[in-house]
Structure 1
Amino acid sequence: MLDTVSVAASDPDREQPFADLGLKPDEYERIKEILGRRPTSSELAMYSVMWSEHCSYKSSKVHLKQFGEIPQETKAGRMLAGIGENAGVIDVGNGWAVTFKIESHNHPSYVEPYQGAATGVGGIVRDILAMGARPVAVMDPLRFGALDAADTRRVLPGVVSGVGGYGNCLGLPNIGGEVVFDSSYAGNPLVNALCVGVLKHEDLHLAKASGEGNKVIMYGARTGGDGIGGASILASDTFESTGPTKRPAVQVGDPFMEKLLIECTLELFQAGIVAGIQDFGAAGISCATSELAAAGDGGMHVELSGVPLRDSTLAPEEILMSESQERMMAVVEPADEARFMEICAKWDVEAVTIGTVTGTGRLVIDWNGETIVDVDPRTVAHDGPTYERPYARPEWQDGLQADGAEALPRPSVAELKDLMLQMVASPNLADKSWVTDQYDRYVRGNTVLSQPSDSGMIRIDEENGTGVALATDCNGRYAKLDPFTGAQLALAEAYRNVATGGATPLAVSDCLNFGSPEDPDVMWQFAEACRGLKEACLTLGVPVTGGNVSLYNSTAGTPILPTPVVAVLGLIEDVAKRTASAWSAAGQRVLLLGTTREELSGSEWAHVVHGHLGGLPPKVDLAAEMSLASLLAEGSALDAGVITSAHDLSDGGLSQALVEASLRNMVGVSVDVSEVAGGDPFLALFAESTARALVTVEESDLSAFLAMAAKHGVPVTDLGVTGGDDLVVTAGGEPVLTAGLLELRATWTATIPAAMA
């Protein structure tokens, strides 16, 4: 018998499978208290997915609220939409705005790598579309277990194929991201997806259902049994060590349907007939109906039996929980309903009116004429439990920080060439072309910078050349050593990477990936990372526009490295004034900006050579980061015209920057490091101090640049000159190492293809 509201009121003692749906006993009791009765099976399905960790942020929102304390004004624009919307929107001038957001699809990508990653891309693209914007580019920060692990060879190719396959079919360039390997991600790969979109101010749309009598239209793909409880419940629990066993909970994507949906939606916006809109992501119809109603006038009536199905056997509870992809929900005035349907038909996108906005303040859902849901939508969408999870500094943290890498054995000068080769061949520093070559980076014709540049850059105004740059970064080892500092270092690196391209950083989106919130150690890491990120954003003047939290990234009780991925968006007035990440000609002066200190803890050197993690991460100097960014922006402008290339220094230190900048265009370099790190060649090459960049200038511009750097208070060390077929390092005239570019390239490019073979 159908479990209707009247039935639920008449048999209050019926046992219900709330625990199987991820609800705790006290949460179930709270639902009954809200309703004044037990929930129907359909209401139970809705509450279970909407009150899941993934959808309700019940363990994290007490810490996330501090991001709202950051002033919303930015250096070169202002927030048009922020936290709480589908994505943040930033005014970038001349009537233009950009919207961007980063989210996770971690657990589904372990269970079914291709579809998990593909639907992660599809979901973030629809978030951007729902703001009224045309999606213009994507990025993909990825984390995997050890490169030589058997499961990495299963997960990595599938994830990369899913990201590339979906994005390429949509015609969206993939302009950046990361690929990081660490054994802690075995069983818990991190698949974070970012999308950026462009819109005019007047095109901004919000997710709300207002206007009594307005129609609720569902359009896009049909609803199937895939993804039931997928992102919502699957991402709200830990995995056991027994391997992937939850394939039915992973969504299945159709990028060609999504492409039609994008173009159809943009035409609907252009026609001016969309009063409110929401994409279908985690929690499916449960999310779209409750969030639209809660954000509007508070009332909606839906006839669920009108939902187009791929599987006619689905029960109403399954329809409400299904996370089938490529679906949207719009609120439309009755006079515009026919025109809405006409545009959908033009694009071969199925559309059905399934409901009406009401003034009752209730979300009522019927199934074949019988009421199966009658709730206050706010209790579903916004009144989920809030947990102040216990947290405390781990007992092992002091011991970890006391075990610094400074005491590890160091190589002699004679061993530095072999060390350089060993480092560039290590998985995290090796060439990632095996991954990025599977992505289309230049489709649509507006890509200005992409992999392996420090940041991606897209032209958004073809008339005046305005563009935006984006970078994502995080070093999980740093975050484990000190999560407060680690989050700030992630922000600082992304901020610096945007600046090296010549853009001015404006705003932040974050994807906070951590272990189980039920572990006090993990919750302390999370709380510290949030606190660190907030304070750094305040100092740098960049607001958090939104983001995502992914918890329960643990397998068999072992959490991942805390990984607060930070995305920074920057504005460049004219993309023609961008700065390349590598030199392309001989005879240019090579300059090191910033100060190098003895900072080796958490470094790639300690990790690769010694398998060591301990000590304190590099010092954060946000004032120095701001000065460096200002210098890079001024020095890259064509009217100043002095910086010919700029590359940030981060993982692998100066050594890695020299290698990457030389190999990009196969132009060598000769440098003297006697004035870096007190003249210690090893520290000069492999320390990972922050607020540093490697730049080149023409000999004739050297004096002008030095004066510019002095004005900004940025230390400069003249290292040498570009040219030749080798990377040559000396110290005070004494040879340190000479490495041929062909040898370096062969070593750098071999690692990942060999592992994947």
Structure 2
Amino acid sequence: MLSTEDQEIIRKSLGREPTDVETACFENLWSEHCSYRSTRHLLKTLPTTGDAVLLGPGDDAAIVRYDEDLALAVGMESHNHPSYVDPHDGAATGVGGIVRDVLSMGARPVALMDPLYFGPLDREKNRYLLEHVIDGIGGYGNCIGVPVVRGDLVFDEGFNGNPLVNVVCVGIVHPDRYITARVKKPGSRLVLIGASTGRDGLGGASFASRDLSEDSEATDRPSVQIGDPFTEKLLIDAILEMAETGKILSCRDLGAAGLAGASSEMCSTFGGRLRADRVHLREPGMKPVEIMLAESQERMLIEVDPSDVPLMGKIAEKYDLGWSDIGEVIAEHRYIVEFNGKTVADIPLDLLVGGTPGCSWEKKSYNAVKPFTMPAGDLESLALKVLSFPEVASRQWVVEQYDHDVQIRTVTLAGDAAVLRLGNGGLALSCGCNPRHIYLSPYAGAANAVLENAANLACVGATPLCIVNCLNFASPVHPEIYWQLEQSVLGMGAMARTLGTPVVGGNVSLYNESDEMGTQIKPTPSIGMLGKCEVRHPARPSDGWVLALAGDTGDHFGGSVLDAVTGCGGAPPPQADPRLLLAIRDLMTRGRDIAVTDLSQGGLIAALSDLAPCADITLRGPLVKMLFAETYGRFLVACRDERALEGLAATRIGEIGGDSLILRSGSEKVVIEQDALTRARNSLSAILRH
């Protein structure tokens, strides 16, 4: 709903009471979800330019040069509230929306990533949400032929009642032939292409800008869109064929705020006049406000010369898609909507699209760090608890739900980053963040989230190209939440500048809290990162390979997996030094019999379970610290020939071989048998399969 102050600004600017259509337009276009009214000034602090950036934030997706013949279109979105109310359709339409954002740039979608955040799986509701979200993402992505190649899973009490579903899409387009979302000239026609408009998704943008209440599943279900991936596949093929003609002047996906949102933002460079009665409808008797604000899926709006309308219609019909010539670009800077010969909206575009008042919130720092307490239990039981934690355990059940090989570009999903074959090289992809660390130290935690993704890319020899993000937070009305938000954006920007990697786009999702559960999410500035590398299949370490640890380990247990399973507390990791990343990247580009993984959730014990489940390890320092601390900027290296480590500040810690994982330090010794380690690693799949 519009605030009293907002309503007064609108009345004063219009010089009259707004119509119901105008009011609905303002409610949605001025919502937090569409206008970023609480965060615009913070987003301006992020580095957004670079030599490879052809088009930065502000469009449906960013465009980043990959080589002379290929550019990447990349975007990131959230579909959090809809995925709580209806996890299958909420997640599926999240995929559909971000794919169309990339498609609107004239780019072919080639890959998806899905960082996901849920409450603990001991709650039946959280298991239900996870299973149906995964089913929605997999079902939609598989049907449209776009592979999900990377993801992240986080489980924490803060996400009870408010899961986060974030999705990244990457597409490819020629650097000189991408399309933008702003109209180019008065007199052009506006053509709506795709599925018919129904009443689904009404008020979706305003729904996404408020917290969830106890009755959300019932009352807010009409705000959740219903997707049809088969229509989306036809729409992808049709828009790409239209783009090949060179006749599309501009294009925009119909997402948040439906036709009103897409057309008003698209026409903001000039003006637009729309005929709502010309829109092809799914349901008879729809009112203008429903036609303009419905968020029915699989629809695109294009600008073309009047002489090219028949060609676009012919292509749409070839793919059995509906289409309507619904309006024109006008020279006057106004947004006009007509219905059956009557004007139902006439708004200055500068007011509707650019006139949203900003919000200023109080901020207040806090200190949630607890002193470290040595956890009870022997080291073997602690190690198995950590390895059984769903963030550390194998995600094979989730991976099996997705078709990774469609489009035949996927080189590898194993290791720290996915790699696709692209042109004459490889595209590396990574995503995610650690909300527990960020909660305890928002600035350093967000900076480390950027570094962690760059470290993942370094492990496959990739150089970062760009960052996208999704800023998921609770309500900024709370001073502590707004402080989290500000510090996280500043930390993210600082590390992006240090790495020389621009933040080219993203999304803000606020009000992620639940009255039903009495919870607020932990700060979750989720990251997506793309990098360029050589195409190489990952090495498979075998018996006799040397293991080495690069980077220093500190007493950093706060927000760790050990903390999550024992409540041990402790200091969170400080902002890490990224200098080791370049050495790891160089190591991976010059050798073949080398495998590297960075140390993140679960610490060294988790990295060993992945890279060297059977090995004899000798460490320097208390085993609790060396195995479970989550200091950033560290890497576990496996190599056939120890000479490969020359020039890398790494310490040999053991050798792969045997039938168990043996861990020693001084008089301390732990032996983890293979059967016990395997059971721990398969714990997530065991929960979900039953």
Aligned to 1:134: 108
Distance 1:89 1:717 in 2: 41
Aligned-partner residue type, residue 550 of structure 1: S
Aligned to 2:646: 706
Aligned to 2:627: 685
Q: Which of 225, 234, 250 does residue 207 from structure 2 map onto?
A: 234
Q: Which of 143, 167, 171 does residue 145 from structure 2 map onto?
A: 171
Aligned to 2:606: 656
Q: Matched residue of 2:162: which SS? A: coil
Shift in Å, 1:110: 0.2
Q: Which of 531, 538, 541 does residue 584 from structure 1 map onto?
A: 541
Aligned to 1:418: 381
Aligned to 1:28: 7
Is residue 745 from structure 1 mapped to residue 678 from structure 2 by the alignment? yes
Q: Which of 26, 44, 54 does residue 47 from structure 1 map onto?
A: 26
Aligned-partner residue type, residue 520 of structure 2: P
On the 8 A contact 2:555/2:571 being kept in 1, the answer is no
Shift in Å, 1:739: 2.0
Shift in Å, 1:480: 1.0
Shift in Å, 1:446: 0.5
Is residue 284 from structure 1 mapped to residue 241 from structure 2 by the alignment? no
Aligned-partner residue type, residue 488 of structure 1: A
Query: Deviations for 1:430-486, whole angstroms, at most 9, x for unmatched residues?
Result: 222222211111211111222x5211221121xx2x121111121111111111111
Q: Which structure 2 residues correspond to residues 244-393 of structure 1 after superposition, within 5 A?
A: 244-245=217-218, 246-294=220-268, 296=269, 298-393=270-365
On the 8 A contact 1:102/1:194 being kept in 2, the answer is yes
Aligned to 2:616: 670
Q: Matched residue of 2:8: which SS? A: helix
* Residues 246-255 or 56-65, more deviating: 56-65
Distance 2:119 2:197 in 1: 34
On the 8 A contact 1:635/1:643 being kept in 2, the answer is no
Is residue 630 from structure 1 mapped to residue 582 from structure 2 by the alignment? yes
Aligned to 1:13: none
Shift in Å, 1:242: 4.2
Shift in Å, 1:137: 0.6
Q: Matched residue of 1:561: which SS? A: coil
Distance 1:753 1:112 in 2: 25
Name the CA shift for 1:345/1:71 in 2 (closer, same or farther; >3 Å).
closer
Aligned to 2:415: 453
Shift in Å, 1:187: 0.7
Shift in Å, 1:419: 1.7
Aligned-partner residue type, residue 672 of structure 2: A
Aligned to 2:535: 575
Distance 2:246 2:20 in 1: 38
Distance 1:536 1:494 in 2: 11
Shift in Å, 1:313: 2.2
- Tell me the matched-pair count: 687
Query: Deviations for 1:656-694, whole angstroms, at most 9, x for unmatched residues?
Result: 00001235xxxx222211x3xxx2122111111110111
Query: Deviations for 1:154-186, whole angstroms, at most 9, x for unmatched residues?
Result: 211111110110001011111111111111111
Q: Which structure 2 residues correspond to residues 68-79 of structure 1 after superposition, within 5 A?
A: 70=47, 72-73=49-50, 77-79=51-53
Aligned to 1:723: 657
Name the CA shift for 1:37/1:349 in 2 (closer, same or farther; >3 Å).
same
Name the CA shift for 1:511/1:332 in 2 (closer, same or farther; >3 Å).
same
What is the TM-score with the length of structure 2 in the denominator? 0.97
Aligned to 1:147: 121
On the 8 A contact 2:591/2:644 being kept in 1, the answer is no
Is residue 562 from structure 1 mapped to residue 505 from structure 2 by the alignment? no
On the 8 A contact 2:412/2:538 being kept in 1, the answer is no
Distance 1:326 1:253 in 2: 7
Distance 1:322 1:100 in 2: 25
On the 8 A contact 2:337/2:344 being kept in 1, the answer is yes
Could you list the structure 1 runs, at least 4 aligned residues long, displaced by more than 4 angstroms after superposition: none
On the 8 A contact 1:446/1:460 being kept in 2, the answer is yes
Q: Matched residue of 2:682: which SS? A: helix
Aligned-partner residue type, residue 574 of structure 2: K
Is residue 62 from structure 1 mapped to residue 41 from structure 2 by the alignment? yes
Q: Matched residue of 2:494: which SS? A: helix
Distance 1:126 1:672 in 2: 51
Query: Deviations for 1:546-572, whole angstroms, at most 9, x for unmatched residues?
Result: 101110001125311111111111111
Is residue 524 from structure 1 mapped to residue 483 from structure 2 by the alignment? yes
Query: Deviations for 1:9-29, whole angstroms, at most 9, x for unmatched residues?
Result: xxxxxxxxxxxxx11111111
Name the CA shift for 1:568/1:630 in 2 (closer, same or farther; >3 Å).
same
Query: Deviations for 1:205-258, whole angstroms, at most 9, x for unmatched residues?
Result: 10011212111100000000100012x011111112345221111000000100
Percent identity over paired residues? 38
On the 8 A contact 1:187/1:243 being kept in 2, the answer is no
Shift in Å, 1:721: 1.4
Distance 2:274 2:214 in 1: 42
Distance 1:705 1:408 in 2: 34
Q: Which of 115, 120, 123 does residue 97 from structure 2 map onto?
A: 123
> Structure 2 regions of 5+ residues with no counterpart?
none
Q: Matched residue of 2:601: which SS? A: coil
On the 8 A contact 2:271/2:334 being kept in 1, the answer is yes
Is residue 433 from structure 1 mapped to residue 396 from structure 2 by the alignment? yes
What is the TM-score with the length of structure 1 in the denominator? 0.88
> Structure 1 regions of 5+ residues with no counterpart?
1-21, 710-714
Q: Which of 494, 504, 511 does residue 463 from structure 2 map onto?
A: 504
Distance 1:634 1:536 in 2: 20
Shift in Å, 1:738: 2.1
Distance 1:597 1:47 in 2: 51
Aligned-partner residue type, residue 531 of structure 2: G
On the 8 A contact 2:198/2:294 being kept in 1, the answer is yes
Aligned to 1:109: 83
Shift in Å, 1:103: 1.1
Query: Deviations for 1:270-302, whole angstroms, at most 9, x for unmatched residues?
Result: 1111000000010001111101110x3x12111
Aligned to 1:514: 473
Shift in Å, 1:514: 0.4
Distance 1:643 1:531 in 2: 39
Shift in Å, 1:642: 5.2
* Residues 418-427 or 318-327, more deviating: 418-427
On the 8 A contact 2:513/2:519 being kept in 1, the answer is yes
Distance 2:171 2:135 in 1: 23
On the 8 A contact 2:397/2:688 being kept in 1, the answer is no
Query: Deviations for 1:626-649, whole angstroms, at most 9, x for unmatched residues?
Result: x32212222222xx2255211110
Shift in Å, 1:615: 4.5
Shift in Å, 1:108: 0.3
On the 8 A contact 2:433/2:526 being kept in 1, the answer is yes
Q: CA RMSD in A?
A: 1.6
Aligned to 2:371: 404
Shift in Å, 1:78: 1.4
On the 8 A contact 2:112/2:168 being kept in 1, the answer is yes
Shift in Å, 1:726: 1.9
On the 8 A contact 1:62/1:388 being kept in 2, the answer is no
Q: Matched residue of 2:676: which SS? A: helix
Q: Which structure 2 residues correspond to residues 87-106 of structure 1 after superposition, within 5 A?
A: 87-106=61-80
Name the CA shift for 1:658/1:373 in 2 (closer, same or farther; >3 Å).
same
Q: Matched residue of 2:18: which SS? A: coil
Aligned-partner residue type, residue 342 of structure 1: K
Q: Matched residue of 2:408: which SS? A: coil
Aligned to 2:195: 221
Is residue 605 from structure 1 mapped to residue 562 from structure 2 by the alignment? yes
Name the CA shift for 1:496/1:149 in 2 (closer, same or farther; >3 Å).
same
Distance 2:638 2:541 in 1: 10
Aligned-partner residue type, residue 235 of structure 2: L
Aligned to 2:572: 617
Q: Matched residue of 1:431: which SS? A: coil
On the 8 A contact 1:467/1:571 being kept in 2, the answer is yes
